[in-house]
Amino acid sequence: MIKNNIRRESYLKFLNTWKNRDLIKVLSGVRRSGKSTLLAMFQQDLKEQGVQDENIIAINFEYMEFEELTDYRKLHDYVLSKVDKNKKNYVFLDEILMWIYDFRPRL
């Protein structure tokens, strides 16, 4: 997936600049603008910088393997089960709006 795409160096540089700050980062943009691809590229950059696979927690709500995460408690428990408390962890929630709109109770 990543090999056929153009690296967005300015965006990746920006993400790398902010990666060690304890703030939640949000990538937003119009549909099909490359947000998921950028997340994948950033995860690859983290690995190349020495971050272990187990310290990158990537959840894409389009994938069936995450369909059991139907509420915030299950999502919270899942993330906590993957976190290594002795190391820096990176959590990526891709297609989060799908989760919000498909699984949250209707008001």
- Rounded Cα distance, 107 and 1, in Å: 37
Query: 60 - beta bridge partners?
Result: 94
- Give this prediction's pTM: 0.85
Which two three-digit tokens encode residue 79?
């993330």
Which two three-digit tokens encode residue 16?
């790398």
User: Smallest Cα–Cα separation from 102: which of 65, 59, 71, 60?
Assistant: 71
Residue 55: strand, helix, or coil: helix
- Rounded Cα distance, 104 and 16, in Å: 32
Max mean pLDDT range (11-15, 68-72, 101-105): 11-15
pLDDT (mean) for 28-33: 89
pLDDT of residue 71: 86
Which two three-digit tokens encode residue 50?
């020495």
